[in-house]
Amino acid sequence: AIDEYQGPILVTHANARSICDHPRNLSDSQLKSLAESGGVIGLNQVSDFVKKDKKPDLDDFLNHVDYVASLIGVQHIALGSDFDGADHVVLPGIDAYARLENCFLQRGFSRQEMEMIFNNNVERVLRQILK
């Protein structure tokens, strides 16, 4: 389906299958196709999507961010929180998002890159899709 669609792809709730082999996570080739379309992946915090063998923590989630950023670039990353019904998430509520800024800075992301990930990337793609 990705090969047939001509616009940017928006995947709102998935992670890197190379890190966590979940059927809804994307393979490297799928991530590259998404990037080639100009699209965005909303990285998901549901425990089963982040890490299989133990309860994941914020570092486990950030490993997905680092991996996808190095594979396809920060311009293709957003946050897909999945607060609406998932019982086991890395960040249990919107208040926990306050910790993300420092965590991203510690991982070497710039403030401009964080703004892209937290807001601008998904806004850009939605504007393209909905025009």
CATH code of 33's domain = 3.20.20.140
Number of domains in the chain: 1
pLDDT-derived band at 88, boundaries 50, 70, 90? confident
Q: Does 1 map to a domain?
A: no
Q: Does 78 map to a domain?
A: yes
Q: Does 33 map to a domain?
A: yes
Q: Does 31 map to a domain?
A: yes
pTM to 2 decimal places: 0.93
7 vs 83 pLDDT, higher one: 7
Determine the structural domain holding residue 83 and report its residue range.
10-130
Residue 124 tokens, joined: 């850009």
- Residue 96, CA distances (Å) to 25, 39, 100, 115 in order: 23, 27, 8, 17
53, with CB counted inside 10 A (0-12, 13-18, 19+), is: exposed
75, with CB counted inside 10 A (0-12, 13-18, 19+), is: middle
Q: Does 26 map to a domain?
A: yes
